[in-house]
Amino acid sequence: MFFFRIKEYLRYMVFSGYRKGHGIHSPFVYDIVSRVFRNKIDKAVVSKIESIRKELVRDKRMIFVNDLGVGSLKVRQEERSRRVSDIARHSPVTRKYGILLSNLAKEFGSPGIVELGTSMGISSMYLAFSGTDCTVNTIEGCKETAGIAEETFRKAGKSNIILHCGSFEDCLPAVLDSTIAPGMVFIDGNHRKEPVLKYFEMIAQKSSVNTVVVIDDIYYSPEMKDAWQLIKDHGKVSVTIDIYRMGIVFFRKGINTNHFIVRH
């Protein structure tokens, strides 16, 4: 698996471009890459979230992890009793991608955001601190991990995050049915082809032309790469942006179908 990811990263480095938007012939994608990707974020927000991350990395508590999906490559799947510090060190999004999620949420998050895979709550906070007033509905399959995330949200003082504890299969339909079409969806926490495609289809059916879907770890494994290709070929998808770590999907009408590999 390690060599697969290295190979895909090298391929990405060869074929990616448009770092500042130059050369992109789609005005819509040019605006996203040149402006949204590079939006400034309040440094105090980043400092608050990253200070909470540091606390979690120092947290030596042991919790029982019921991992319903495929977790981090750096944590062996047969290990069920784990330190909070190990999960916090390897599982959440990094600062760089947290900021990107926040920028995307600020631009597209209204009227609401859905997240599949809360983990310790780092990505949830970046979404919730986007500067919008929209609610983040986040789903976590592990009860004890969800408990740590709830502690995290209290420390951050965020009241616009609703945490749903349960499997994605059980919680996602109810979350999608309880609101109008989401502005943004972040899919993380399960890295298997068939479940990801199932979740994406459910989301695509509920989404509007303004919805953006962000899929984490699209090159986690060969089957995730296959899932990403099938999502790109989905009949409702008009534009995708591949930044290696994540795939960004749009359902916009009136623009030519195209797929971009962007250096980020």
- What is the pLDDT averaged over residues 52-64? 96
DSSP bridge partners of 213: 185, 249
- The order of strands in the sheet holding 246-250 is 161-165, 135-140, 112-116, 184-187, 212-216, 246-250, 239-242, 258-261
Separation CA 184–CA 37 (nearest Å): 15
> At 210, which amino acid appears?
N
Q: List, for residues 66-86, the tens digit of each pLDDT value.
A: 866 555 444 444 458 999 999
Q: What is the DSSP string of 174-196?
A: HHHHTSSS-SEEEE-S---HHHH
Task: Residue 145: name the closest of 130, 173, 123 by CA.
Answer: 123
Q: For the chain, what percent of residues have pLDDT higher than 90? A: 81
Separation CA 109–CA 102 (nearest Å): 9
Domain ranges of the chain: 2-43+93-261
What pLDDT sits at residue 74?
45
Q: List, for residues 13-23, the tens digit of each pLDDT value.
A: 999 988 777 78
Q: Which segments of 65-167 does DSSP mark as H helices, in order?
A: 84-90, 95-108, 122-128, 143-156
What pLDDT sits at residue 34?
93
* 2-43+93-261 placed in CATH 3.40.50.10420: no
Task: Residue 163: name the closest of 203, 113, 207 by CA.
Answer: 113
Considering only residues 178 and 259, tell me which one the structure prediction assigns the higher pLDDT.
259
- What is the pLDDT averaged over residues 242-249? 98
What pLDDT sits at residue 102?
97
